[in-house]
Amino acid sequence: MPTLPTHAGRFALIALVGILAGLTHSAIHEPLKLKPDAPPPLVLGTSNTPATSPDAPQAVTLGLDITLAQAKQLVDAGAHVVDARSREEFEAGHIANSFWLPANLFYEGKAQDALNFMDPNTRIVIYCGGGACDASHNTAKMLQENGYKLTHVLTDGYPAWSAANYPTATGKPFYEN
């Protein structure tokens, strides 16, 4: 006569059912995106680029991750700026004219307020707290999924921008006023 499994057997069975359910779900669900795509290449410092200064650096092809100087050039040329940090951090200080778009606004279906003001054909500079923060890459993924492919991430984030004394602002996003 078959016997009921022991506590250890039941433990393993519950875990196994969870694993099988998860594997099945992941197989039928559309693939998750772990990293943003590199944007179409943009060469800074040539005639077809947004470089505005006569002493612009020599031509550099921009990828997904960009430096502070490259971000400044893009912003000066009219790129959108997106803050991927928390609301509290945004209101305490952000790059002037930033949109506030942490990735969770996309998950919650609340990103449209900002997207209404954004042109998908304009370059976008995204930032978070710099260093080990990955919020800007998460926002880049979500922007790309919504048709905004020209995304760049300022890897050193807001601390570097602020330390360079580039234009900043405080309070609510400009489009909420």
Partner 1 sequence: MNDKTPSATGWLSLLCRVLLGGLFIFAGTLKLAKPQGFADSIMGFKMLDVDAHSHIIITMAYVIPWTEIIAGTCLVLGLWARASAGVITAMLTAFIAGVVSVILRGIDTKCSCFGELEWPCTGGVGWCQVIRNCVMIALAIPVFIWGAGSLAVDRPSNT
Helices (H), 53-133: 68-76, 87-92, 103-107, 112-115
Number of neighbouring beta carbons within 10 Å of residue 171: 12
The Cα 153–Cα 81 span in angstroms is 10
Q: Which of 10, 43, 59, 119 binds partner 1 (CB under 8 A)?
A: 10
Q: Which of 38, 53, 92, 107 binds partner 1 (CB under 8 A)?
A: 107
Residue 32 interacting with partner 1 (CB under 8 A): yes
- Kindly tell me which of 17 and 96 has the beta carbon lying closer to partner 1: 17
Question: Candidates 11-19, 40-48, 51-59, 61-69 — which segment interacts with partner 1 by CB under 8 A?
Answer: 11-19
Q: Which of 1, 40, 41, 108 binds partner 1 (CB under 8 A)?
A: 108
Residue 132 interacting with partner 1 (CB under 8 A): yes
Q: What is the dihedral of CA 47, 50, 54, 60, to 10 degrees?
A: -80
- Kindly tell me which of 1 and 23 has the beta carbon lying closer to partner 1: 23
**What does each C-alpha distance from 48 to 43, 44, 52, 77, 85 come to in angstroms?**
8, 8, 11, 12, 32
The overall longest dimension of the chain from CA atoms, in Å, is 88
The set of residues, in sequence order, having a beta carbon less than 8 Å from that of 80 and lying 6+ positions away, is 99, 118, 119, 122, 123, 124, 125
Residue 104 interacting with partner 1 (CB under 8 A): yes
Q: Which of 1, 2, 3, 29 binds partner 1 (CB under 8 A)?
A: 29
Name the residues that contact partner 1, by CB under 8 A: 4, 7-8, 10-11, 13-15, 17-19, 21-23, 25-26, 29, 31-35, 86, 88, 103-104, 107-108, 129, 131-134, 138, 141
